[in-house]
Amino acid sequence: MAIIFISGTSTGIGFATAVALARNGHKVYGSMRNPQKTPELQNLAERENLPIHIITMDVDNEESVKHGIGIVLQNEGYIDVLVNNAGISISGPVEELPFDSFQKMMQTNYFGTLRCIKAVLPSMRERKAGCIINNTSVAARVNADFLAGYCASKAAVEAFSESLALEVQPYNIRIAVVEPGVIATPIFSKDEIPISANYPNTKRRSAFFSASLERQIQPAVVAEVIRDIVDGKSNKFRNLAGPDALPLTSFRTSITDEDWINSVNIDDDAWVERMSQRGLNLKPYMG
């Protein structure tokens, strides 16, 4: 049994990961900003008698992170696995998206991850044992239009993670990155891409996600990948999650940067046809 801390467990991937790991016999501490507003994980844990403990914590606040992780270190003496999952997305054209939207994404997605890591790293280094799993996204490698802030924050976490992996290798601390594709989570209901008069291609990006979400790929798919890392079934640094993750990343690496950038110049009909070849029906969303 491992002692596991997971950030952002109120819904989506964090919720599914907490449940999957607890059902697999691990002791899970799941953090969220407002447990009173989102009691579903606590309720499920009580119904199934799962070893899940809820911690009130905001990854945007350094003192909150130190306090939350400090509770676990005081109770258990150590943390075997940290899963950095808390994240937000705010989409739109760079020109039109407020500057503070970019700051918020970096604050949560990148600096939130950094705060949690700095809080657990000293104890892991002293024990010469531990695993840190950072949930990023295929968007870290497939940089899409109107997702610049989100892509940048996830790419920053990946670059940071690789550097960190080199630093902590001598202390037997493992770093792993999980890259989900399009997963049906509340992040999409909170972040609809606004259609812009100045940037008409926003309707394409919005249609892509709407069609992708029709597949209803559930967060449990990502939780299984994380469980395999925790249980030692995967020793890879980068771990794709979801049926579209490999096709998306493979397509991006198969073409040049210039071809990728110029691909937005095709007309709507050609773009819809290209997406249909990948199994996505975008016509209903291109109105």
Segment 61-105, tens digit of pLDDT: 999 999 999 999 999 999 999 999 999 999 999 999 999 999 999
d(CA 203, CA 25): 45
Task: State the chain's mean pLDDT as an integer.
Answer: 96
Residue of 38, 35, 79, 73 lying closest to 55 (CA atoms): 35
Domain for residue 44, yes or no? yes
d(CA 72, CA 55): 9
Predicted pLDDT of residue 287: 72
DSSP string, 179-192: EE-S---THHHH-P
Predicted pLDDT of residue 42: 97
Segment 209-252, tens digit of pLDDT: 999 999 999 999 999 999 999 999 999 999 999 999 999 999 99
Domain for residue 242, yes or no? yes
Predicted pLDDT of residue 248: 95
Residue 193 tokens read as 């891409």
Helix (H, G, I), strand (E, B) or coil at 135: strand
Domain for residue 271, yes or no? no
Domain for residue 231, yes or no? yes
d(CA 5, CA 120): 10
d(CA 111, CA 59): 8
Predicted pLDDT of residue 191: 67
Domain count for the chain, please give it: 1
- For the chain, what percent of residues have pLDDT higher than 70? 99
Contact 97, 149 (CB under 8 A): yes
State which residues form the domain around 95.
Answer: 3-201+216-250
Contact 180, 137 (CB under 8 A): yes
d(CA 134, CA 168): 15
Where residue 278 falls among pLDDT bands split at 50, 70, 90? confident
Domain for residue 225, yes or no? yes
**Overall pTM surpassing 0.85 (yes/no):** yes
Residue 139 tokens read as 């968007």
Predicted pLDDT of residue 106: 98
Query: What angle, rounded to 10 degrees, do the helices at 62-76 and 112-127 form?
Result: 30
Active site residues: 150
Please say if the pLDDT value at position 189 is more than 90: no
CATH number, domain of 77, equals 3.40.50.720
Segment 115-126, tens digit of pLDDT: 999 999 999 999
Domain for residue 256, yes or no? no
Domain for residue 111, yes or no? yes
Helix (H, G, I), strand (E, B) or coil at 225: helix
Domain for residue 143, yes or no? yes
